Amino acid sequence: MVTRRSILGGAALTAPAAALLLRPSNSAAQARTWEASYSGGPGGPDRAPGTPSKDYQPVTTPNGSTLPFTLKDGVKIYHLIAEEVEHEFAPGLKAYCWGYNGSVPGPTLEAVEGDRVRVYVTNRLKAPTTVHWHGVFLPNGMDGVGGLNQLSIAPGETFKYEWTFRQHGTFMYHSHHDEMTQMAMGMSGMLIVHPRRTAADAVVQRDFALLLGTWKIKPGTRRPDPNEMTDFNVLTLNARSFPGTAPLVCKKGDRVRIRIGNLSAMDHHPIHLHGYYFKTTATDGGMIPASAQVPETTVLVPTGSTRTIEFIADAVGDWAMHCHMTHHVMNQMGHGVANMIGADARLIDKAVAPRLSGYMTMGTTGMGDMGGMMMPGPKNSIAMQGGKGAFGEITMGGMFTILKVRENLTNDDDPGWYLPPPGTQAKLATSDELAQDGVKL
């Protein structure tokens, strides 16, 4: 019997024999062999251009749009225009950002695996720029890193990018010249590539794209600050903060896919959905085998990554969906506020009231009432939190939206607020109910 002790002692085997024992077997070595990273394969012919409805269910980008294309000789042709955009984050807050085709984020680029695409990029900024196709397999010279793969696109110039999609999935695009500045100013968008054939059990009725973002816009100013590294005060879904975020509208029974991309400067985001569990079906690296998918209610989306989740919309109602980092569901005016929790404000009020009519110290019991107070702030700024709901103020802001599931829908418009049927909503307990259940106050 050969033991580790005997091998180390050199008594049982010569050095060559010991080396043979310690070397992995061929089968073990083969088990550790990785597939080629370029999973698109060796190439092959381009395919006929995939078209909406016939080849795929188009993606919905809430608060956004899809980039149109034209066809010429079997190639899909797109045109992106980098330019300054006056963008509204939420009612009351606008800023001069940098985006594409008049919007922030830029319009969603949608194609099909096997499509040959040609993307023209026109630069109307005052600074050079490029476009990087984040996560896409393409020729090195089309990768879009200024100075490394290409000359930067000078102001007034138009560059041409061209490749064939050899993969499908959820990707993103963004500037890769002076990234810190240009991405912080809004130069990003979603890029969706549909499979050439969709299995019957993978067909969805609702397919949404959400791009997560973080911004620093000081109250009263009108431009994002690209130099910020920690204190981001505008947190967004498709560059909108609640209450400016559009709801995700679904019909009961729909199979729903939500593609979430994160191009925040510094932050990961745990996105939590109320009322459901879902399964993460894909990353930006590809599909996750069904055997590896696990039920979750929160998906962590690291910065620079995408995650795709799917579920069946089987529970009607208005369900919150938001980042679960609690400071990511508040807006501008919540940053830099003094901590007044538990303070006795009577002496402060007594001293200040004679000099400032109507003054009242706020925040001693929390920030839940701030949204409804409508207190004046700097021009072009939004309150820390708050949006109107069916039953009062929703004390959330920032990276927050609502999944609205209804029995019957005739269109994709916001169906309004859900009113729970009698007996299915939390309410004030009556004295009779307390007595009946033996609850003593």
Instruction: Point out which residues pair with 339 in neighbouring strands.
Output: none
Query: What pLDDT shows up at residue 319?
Result: 98
The confidence score (pLDDT) of residue 237 equals 98
Token duo for residue 390? 């069916």
Whole-model pTM: value is 0.84
What is each CA distance from 289 to 41, 93, 280, 281, 293, in whole angstroms? 19, 43, 10, 8, 7
Tokens of 305: 């990554």
Res 339: pLDDT: 54
pLDDT at residue number 198: 79
- Residue 369 has what pLDDT? 52
Pairing of strands 75-90, 255-262: unpaired
**What local confidence, expressed as pLDDT, does residue 155 receive?**
98
Domains of the chain with CATH codes: 1-28 (no CATH), 70-202 (2.60.40.420)
Element (H, E) at 180: helix 179-184
On the CB side of 12, how many CA atoms lie within 13 Å of its CA?
12
The Cα 257–Cα 293 span in angstroms is: 14
CA distances from 234 to 212, 328, 335 (A): 11, 8, 10
Selection from 260, 120, 263 nearest residue 192 by Cα: 260
The contacts of residue 10 (CB under 8 Å, 6+ apart) are none
Reading the chain (441 residues) residue by residue, the pLDDT tens digits are 434 334 344 444 444 444 444 444 454 444 445 555 544 455 667 889 999 988 899 999 999 999 999 999 999 999 999 999 999 999 999 999 999 999 999 999 999 999 999 999 999 999 999 999 999 999 999 999 999 999 999 999 999 999 999 999 999 999 999 999 999 999 999 999 999 887 777 899 999 999 999 999 998 899 999 999 988 999 999 999 999 999 999 999 999 999 999 999 999 999 999 999 999 999 999 999 999 999 999 999 999 999 999 999 999 999 999 999 998 998 885 555 565 556 676 776 677 777 666 656 555 544 555 555 455 568 888 887 678 999 999 999 999 999 999 999 989 999 999 999 999 999 999 999 999 999 999
Distance between CA atoms of residues 131 and 183, nearest Å: 11
User: What's 24's DSSP letter?
Assistant: P
- Specify the amino acid at residue 142: M
